[in-house]
């Protein structure tokens, strides 16, 4: 992947409950947010396409993490703002 593509976009502000931020193949970001490892109230959302975790919307980090990383590896939406 070209680093020039990544440098063209600025990273959004980091929410206070941000646990992990994945960069997507489209140069956007997938945020994993929530209370942390020992909680089932964590979730992910994509800044590029607007997709997010659902069914269940919130889950333990060990379940959310691979889903969020998988989305980041597949999502080609570029950040529009």
Binding flag, residue 75, Zn ion (CB under 5 A): yes
Among 12-20, 32-40, 54-62, 67-75, which window interacts with Zn ion (CB under 5 A)? Answer: 67-75
Other residues' Cβ atoms within 10 Å of the Cβ of residue 72 = 21
CB of 2 to Zn ion, least distance (A): 19
Alpha-carbon gap, residue 53 to 64, rounded angstroms: 8
Contact 18, 35 (CB under 8 A): no
- Interface with Zn ion in residues 2-61 (CB under 5 A): 46, 48-49, 51
* Site residues for Zn ion per CB under 5 A: 46, 48-49, 51, 75
């Amino acid at each position: 992947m070209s680093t020039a593509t990544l440098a063209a976009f600025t990273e959004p502000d980091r929410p206070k409950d941000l646990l992990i931020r994945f960069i997507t193949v489209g140069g956007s970001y997938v945020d994993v947010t929530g209370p942390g490892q020992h909680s089932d109230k964590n979730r992910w959302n994509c800044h590029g396409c607007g997709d997010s975790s659902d069914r269940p919307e919130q889950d333990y980090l060990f379940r959310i993490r691979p889903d969020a990383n998988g989305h980041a590896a597949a999502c080609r939406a570029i950040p529009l703002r």
